[in-house]
Amino acid sequence: MKRRSWLAALMMTAASALSVPAMAQDEAPDALVKRVSAEVLAAIKADPAIQSGDVSRIIALVDSKIMPNVNFTRMTASAVGRYWRQATPEQQKKLQDEFKTLLVRTYSGALGEVKDQSLSFRPMRSRPEDTEVVVRSEVRGRGEPIQLDYRMEKTPTGWKIYDLNVLGVWLVETYRTQFAQEIGSKGIDGLIASLVQRNKSSTAKAS
């Protein structure tokens, strides 16, 4: 689980490449990620605070650079599954907020593990008119290369990520199973309460 957490963090770091000026919005998604991810990885490696595990610095980086470039409405709706339509607008907002906090807390600490790793991207298989693509990459360092995938969609404000594949497991599918069990036994409010508690526990451990 720790290995998967680290890989997801590295993948989400590359996702921060989407935080670029509007003039780059027409750039191919793989080229965009490849071009800027190297700069982001270099910044992490050069930051002693992140390398030493400074949670506040890591969370600030993740929250400001990565999270705004992920379609959290779609990601949360997919993770909640068929129950999303049953949720009230207020419940949907709470689910989205708590899910975002959960992901930030879950993967932010792993960014401190980034050292000599690098990303290698596979050729894109898409058409110019495609609005959804999968960008495939590998993380290379010690040992065998490990494949990482990004599901991305084209929006009016540029390409955004809505799902991540880590070690062959799509993140949304993993949470969908967990959330379905929670809702099945406790209802939507029960899932929200569970997420709130998990996030509070993570905050307490980090402080």
Q: What is the pLDDT of residue 164?
A: 84
pLDDT mean for each 10 residues of the chain (207 residues): 56 49 61 66 77 74 71 94 96 94 72 69 86 87 76 86 84 94 96 94 68
- Inter-residue contact 86 to 184 (CB < 8 Å): no
* Amino acid (1-letter code) at residue 146: I
All domains of the chain in start order, with CATH:
2-206 (3.10.450.710)
Tokens of 54: 């400074």
Q: What is the pLDDT of residue 58?
A: 73
Q: What is the pLDDT of residue 51?
A: 76
Taking only Cα atoms into account, the Rg of the chain, rounded to an integer number of angstroms, comes to 17
Q: What is the pLDDT of residue 21?
A: 46
Tokens of 96: 């989205």
Q: What is the pLDDT of residue 4?
A: 58
Q: What is the pLDDT of residue 144?
A: 76
Tokens of 130: 């495609």
Tokens of 108: 């932010």
Please tell me the distance from the alpha carbon of residue 135 to that of residue 121, in angstroms, as a whole number.
8
